[in-house]
Amino acid sequence: MDLLPALNRTIHLRAFAKINLGLKILFKRPDGYHEIRTIFQTISLHDRIRLTLSPDSRISIECANPCVPADQRNLVYRACEVWKAERGWVGGVRAKLEKTIPTGSGLGGGSSDAAVALLGLERLTGDRLDFSTRFRLASALGSDVPAFLFGGRVLGCGRGEEVYPLVDIPRKHCLVVHPPFPIVTAEAYQAASRKLTSADSGFKLNAFGVWSQFPSNDWGPAENDFEEVVFAKWPELGEMKDQFIRAGAETASLTGSGSAVYAIFDSARQSTQARKSVPPEWSVFQAQTLSRRQYQRLIFDL
C-alpha cells in the first residue's frame, strides 16, 4: 500500500461506554469461556482517541492515565497491530487516549477504544474492511469488542462476541457511579461460576428459560448474575443499587462484572437528585442512552 498520500493524517474519535441491561451466565464452555446472554446499551460517557499515521512502522500509545498500559496489553495497540497485519500496512500509528471511562468498571472502555480504533483506521486511510473481516478482527481482540461496531442496543451471546442489533428503545437518562476500586473480570467469573454450580444454589447453569430482560419496548428489571457474588464482597454496591431504586429509577444494576453501578431515570431531575446520595469519593457520571444512529454518527462527529 502506498504510504505517501496518507502520512501525517490525523483523525479524532469518541469511544462510548456501555451498560449491560441484564447478564445471564449459562455454563462454562470447553474453551474455558462462559456462555452468556446479555444486552449491551451504549451511553454518552466516552473516551477520546486521536490516531495519526506516521512514516515509521511503530505503534505508539500515549495516555496520561498511569493505569493504562502503552504496550500490547492495550487493546488500541492490539487493534492497530491486527489492522496493520490484515491490510499489509507498513507505516506506523500513533494513538493518544484521553480516558474518561474508568478501568475495571464493567463499562467496556478498553473494548470500545479498540473497536473505534479499527473504525478510525478505516476512515483515516480510506481502506475499508468488509463486514466479515472487521467482525473477525474485533472478535479476536475481545469478547465485548464486536458490540461496539454497532452501538445502540445489542444482544450479546456466546462469550459476548456473538452480537445481534436490537430495536432501539427511547432515550433515557443514565446515572453511572464508580467506587474507588476496580473488579477483575476473570475473578468475578470464577466466583459467579462457583456460586451458580454449588449444590445449594438452586440454579442450573444450562437453564435459560424466559428472561424478562428481552423486551422490545420496555426497560424491565436488569438481572445480572454477577450481583450476588459481587454484592456479597462489596455490599456498598448493592446498597447503592437499592438507593437508586428508592429514588425512582426505572431500573438499576451492576454493569458487566462491575464495579460500576448504573440507574436509568426518566428525567434529568431524578438523575441529579439521585446523585446526591453517592459518596464523595466515588466517581459520578450523568449520561444518556444512545441509539444506534446517534452512536455511529457521534464517533466521528467532533
Residues with a catalytic annotation lie at 18, 144
- Rounded CA separation 215/170 (Å): 13
Per residue, the 3-state secondary structure of 26-42, as one string, reads: EEECCCCCEEEEEEEEE
For residue 149, what is its C-alpha cell?
461496531
Say how far apart CA 94 and CA 10 lie, in whole Å. 9
Report the alpha-carbon distance of residue 4 to residue 38 in Å, rounded: 44
Burial of 56: CB neighbours in 10 Å, binned 0-12, 13-18, 19+: exposed
Q: Where are the alpha helices (DSSP H) in 126-267?
A: 131-141, 147-150, 185-196, 227-233, 235-246
Q: How far, CA to CA in Å, does 159 sit from each of 2, 9, 131, 143, 173?
A: 38, 36, 20, 6, 28
Helix intervals (H) in the chain: 75-87, 109-125, 131-141, 147-150, 185-196, 227-233, 235-246, 268-274, 292-298
Enter the DSSP assignment of 280: T
Q: Taking the CB of residue 152, how many other CB atoms lie within 10 A of it?
A: 21
Is the separation of the CB atoms in 159 and 185 below 8 Å?
no
